[in-house]
Structure 1
Amino acid sequence: MSSEDYLKDISEIKNLMNKSSKFISLSGLSGIFAGVYALIGALFAHWFFSLSGNEYIVIDSEIFNFVVIDLLIVGILSIGTAIFLTTKKAKKNNEKIWDALTRRLLFHFIVPLLAGGIYILIILNQQRYGQTGALMLLFYGLALLNASKYTLGDVKYLGYTQIVLGLICAIFPGYGFWFWVIGFGIMHIVYGAVMHYKYDRK
């Protein structure tokens, strides 16, 4: 057997191991759509409330209900699109969409995200709105980082980016809206485009 055959066999074994230990059917397009939904939601909020000459948006009790509804719509659209596109990709590649690996991925993603969500609701109930944007970015980044070991390794870079943005946002809490736009909007589009070009087009 030639060295090329050995290398080919090793490559096939590596691919099989990756498929059995990592969920690789994530769709890059879902990241792009999530970013677009986030930008539309942010633009709508910006238009609806108007900055009135201020440099940043401050969330107070008067706009809290609208912000929650806006975020829920963005979240539902993003999750729904991700499920649809990821399922479609998995079927195309003859891969299982729901198995023990998927459950581990979701568990490690949801736990830090749920903990963060509950904590954010607690401080919002206390009318402490200043760090909301930073906390959302931080906990989302931690959730991505925690789940990245069960899926494509590139996910961790999006997680690192969200964490860094969250920390910077904590320093400048008055600009939380804009950091949210960068993190959940622009970075999702960039990440999704890279993933789509790197994996989905093959």
Structure 2
Amino acid sequence: MNSEEKYIKEITEIRSMMERSTKFLSLSGLSGIMVGIYALVGAYIAYRLFYVENGSLLYNIIDRQEMTAEVENLIILALVILVLAVGTVIVLSLKKSQKDGEKLWNPAARRAVVNMAIPLVTGGIFILILLSNGLYGFLAPATLLFYGLALVNASKFTFEELRSLGIVQILLGLLASYFIGYGLLFWALGFGLMHIVYGIVMHVKYEK
């Protein structure tokens, strides 16, 4: 190895060390795929149980603006998916960090979580306001919009690809806000299909 190659190798190693100290790089591509699968399964269950069997549930909810048993069950289903998704991300990220010899909860991870939490907490409060006012048709758009903002905000402290995923979520949220009767479809596209695509890209690019 000549001096020039040695110099390039040293620069690469220094850059890698600096990146690991400033960015959270333990996110697993497989976790993105699993989250997408959970979301698609949840969307299918919601469609079969609440849309097909109850018929035009969304429009009935918009007209009545009342908390029905169907709405409560939809919320429970969404919470179950959320718990599964968060749990999977934590477990697979922990395994990846151990494999890479890194600590999962490091300063970079804390910065990413804090910056992601600000839009998510704001969105959670906003969704509670929508629920209290019976505006159930805007729940799916709101989740997409605030989740997208959270990803964009956190992308500064982790993989740059997260920013692209966040922008797509925001665009889908805006579309869902306009095409109000198709919230479940846009939700499935955003949380389901887009997560699977993102997970595959991340797995191929960084983990193979």
TM-score by length of 2: 0.91
State the percentage of identical aligned residues.
46
In structure 1, give the amino acid aligned to 2:105.
W
User: Aligned equivalents of 2:108 and 2:25: distance in 1?
Assistant: 10
Kept in 2: contact 1:27–1:196 (CA 8 A): yes
| Correspondence list, 1:6-155, <5 A | 6-51=7-52, 57-58=58-59, 60=61, 61-62=67-68, 63-155=70-162
Q: Residue 139 of structure 1: CA displacement?
A: 0.2
Per-residue CA deviations over 1:153-188 (Å, capped at 9, x if unaligned) read: 111110011011111111111111100000000000
Q: Residue 104 of structure 1: CA displacement?
A: 1.3
Pairwise CA RMSD: 1.7
Count of aligned pairs between the two proteins = 201
List gaps (5 residues or longer) in structure 1.
Answer: none
Higher helix share: 2
Q: Residue 129 of structure 1: CA displacement?
A: 1.8
Q: Residue 22 of structure 1: CA displacement?
A: 0.3
3-state secondary structure, aligned to 2:170:
helix
3-state secondary structure, aligned to 2:166:
helix
List gaps (5 residues or longer) in structure 2.
Answer: 62-66
User: Aligned equivalents of 1:56 and 1:166: distance in 2?
Assistant: 20
User: Aligned equivalents of 2:90 and 2:168: distance in 1?
Assistant: 23
User: Aligned equivalents of 2:88 and 2:54: distance in 1?
Assistant: 36
Q: Residue 52 of structure 1: CA displacement?
A: 5.9
TM-score by length of 1: 0.94
Kept in 1: contact 2:58–2:137 (CA 8 A): no
Q: Residue 5 of structure 1: CA displacement?
A: 2.1
